[in-house]
């Protein structure tokens, strides 16, 4: 599995919404967020438009997404400055 970009950093005063794309031709992907929600078994070639806006809090924090397939996993960081 490859993830691009590997993480994102959001400047203070900005927010971000993420669309998760599964470009795999072979494996569904689970994207499970640090807030306790996510999408399980995102089909190949599909997109999940995550409904949560990140970095709206005035204090800096780091959120993450655990991205996994049947044979690999990656932790994607969302750094809110």
Looking at residue 42, what is its pLDDT?
98
pLDDT in tens, 21-72: 999 999 999 999 999 999 999 999 999 999 999 999 999 999 999 999 999 9
* pLDDT band at 1; cut points 50, 70, 90: confident
Q: Are 20 and 42 in contact (CB under 8 A)?
A: yes
Structural domains for the chain:
7-80 (2.60.40)
Please, which residues have CB within 8 angstroms of residue 12's CB and are 6 or more apart in sequence? Answer: 60, 81
């Amino acid at each position: 599995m490859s993830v691009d970009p590997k993480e994102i950093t959001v400047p203070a005063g900005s927010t971000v919404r993420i669309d998760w794309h599964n470009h795999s031709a072979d494996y569904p992907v689970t994207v499970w967020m640090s807030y306790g929600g996510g999408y399980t078994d995102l089909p190949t070639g599909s997109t999940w438009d995550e409904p949560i806006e990140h970095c709206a809090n005035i204090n800096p924090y780091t959120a993450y997404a655990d991205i996994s397939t049947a044979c690999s996993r990656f932790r994607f960081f969302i750094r809110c400055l």
